[in-house]
Amino acid sequence: MVEQKPEKAYTWEEIFSFDRLKRAMTARALNRIEQMWQGNEPISPEQISEVINDEWQKVKQAVRSSPAARESFRKYLQHTVSEEVDKLIQEGRAELESLGVVERSL
């Protein structure tokens, strides 16, 4: 029976650039495949692909849950919401002005 090491989560240092992400993911996938193999039987291409896809999902989750990703998404949302509000104001500008809304507050 093969002893499985507990898998550690990807750190921000491993995933903040594409070259580091590739190195970290490759190293982890190779380690897992070597543990599966243990010199016994050949590993099938399907098993290798499964390990790679599993690591890819872990990388994407680590990136999504990182503080930098949250900040980047917040900036994207702020820009998107601001644009939509601007469009709505322009569409309803005449009506709002007739109801007393002014350009700038004092």
pLDDT tens for 12-25 read 888 888 999 999 99
State the pLDDT at residue 2: 45
Whether 80 and 60 share a structural domain: no
Residues 55 and 101 in one domain: no
CA distance from start to end of the chain: 76
pLDDT at site 31: 93
Q: Which domain range does residue 91 map to?
A: 67-106
pLDDT of residue 79: 95
Which helix (H) or strand (E) segment is 57 a member of? Answer: helix 45-64
Q: What is the pLDDT of residue 1?
A: 40
Task: Name the domain count of the chain.
Answer: 2
Count CA atoms within 13 Å of residue 32 on its CB side. 18
Q: What is the pLDDT of residues 64-102, one digit of tens each?
A: 888 888 888 899 999 999 999 999 999 999 998 898 888
The single-letter DSSP state of residue 16 is S
Residues 77, 39 share a domain: no
Is 70 exceeded by the pLDDT of residue 106?
no
**Structure-token match 């897992």, residue found:** 32
Same structural domain, 37 and 72? no
